[in-house]
Amino acid sequence: MFNFDPDRFLRIEAGACDRARELGTMVRELVQNGADSLFFMGSGGAGILMQPAVDLMIRQSALPCYNLLCAEVVVNGHPGLGENSVVIIPSLSGTTKESIAALDYVKEYGATVITLVGHGDTPLAEKADHCFVNFAQDDTSCEMFYAQSLAAVLGAMQARGERNDFDALMGQMAVLPAQLLKIKEAFEPRAQALAEKIQSDTYHIITSAGPAWPEANYYGMCILEEMQWIRTRPVHASDFFHGTLELVENGVSVIVFMGEDETRPLAERVVRFAREHTDRLIILDTRDMQTEGLSAEFRALLAPAILATMLERLSAHLEHLRDHPLETRRYYRRVAY
């Protein structure tokens, strides 16, 4: 695979899955011991990556669960915050200023704070009540955060008797890194072809639904916009037909991410429309990726991680063809704002 170290990837994701199991076990114990609410608080992409887990809790659990923007919670507060709240703050760097401010803020309420970071010896690692450190970088963080946040909510629901499959699903975590690597290898030829196809595009409509939607939103904002300076319009498939459809015509790129859960028909509806109205339709479907040892439910829950591991291959080829390294920034962490 182009510009890729398989051993590094397996090492990082194996560590991520180990931390996921530990996190899920801790959250299960906290809920068993009286935790009455679960808050995820992130900034930028890290916050977006928490959304599939939060949505699962909202659908299946009576335990209050929220995904809040760090910058907003410090300004607006939240009536559910209290000493029995569990707050999970993800930050790859461990130094995100908005996240540090949010940590300080929720500590005043007596909440239990757990941080998920890629680097120890950082403010978010040191200030938390509990910190899970797993070295990662931008190209490996999505899978890490998806796995960890999923484990957290599965542990919470297990504690409440709302699910009984925590141990079984955590067992599947053990084989996840190897299966993600298998997906990368299978997707590599198409990733190169897609990069060649879209390298000169200056605008993309990106859409999806269900657990896959946050990855569509993340890839548009954090990869194509931040790391490639390409304008995008991420839009949920449910909202596609309430405005964005009017922008579709030949020459307009529409990228549809498709998962494997009950919301799949929402994305399929967009595909049917786009096939009739643009010659620039791209479909990325997790069903095209074969795995072993992962149940259908686990695949559906981790569809955003499967998409992320596919898209990393696209990004690797795209930065090369466009001569635009993914690390290049004009403003982010370079100027005061």
At residue 188, the pLDDT reads 98
Strands (DSSP E) contained in the chain are 37-42, 65-69, 85-91, 112-117, 130-133, 203-208, 231-236, 253-258, 281-285
Confidence of residue 337 (pLDDT cuts 50, 70, 90): confident
The per-residue pLDDT for range 166-176, each reduced to its tens digit, is: 999 999 999 99
Token reading at 201: 């595009």
Of 320, 81, 60, 294, which Cα lies nearest the Cα of 178? 294
The per-residue pLDDT for range 144-170, each reduced to its tens digit, is: 999 999 999 999 999 999 999 999 999
Those residues whose C-beta lies under 8 Å from the C-beta of residue 290, and which sit 6 or more positions away, are 182, 186
Q: Which 8-state DSSP code applies to residue 252? A: -
Rounded mean pLDDT, 182-186: 98
At residue 44, the pLDDT reads 96
In the chain, the domains with their CATH numbers are 6-173 (3.40.50.10490), 176-321 (3.40.50.10490)
Length reported for the chain: 337
The per-residue pLDDT for range 250-283, each reduced to its tens digit, is: 999 999 999 999 999 999 999 999 999 999 999 9
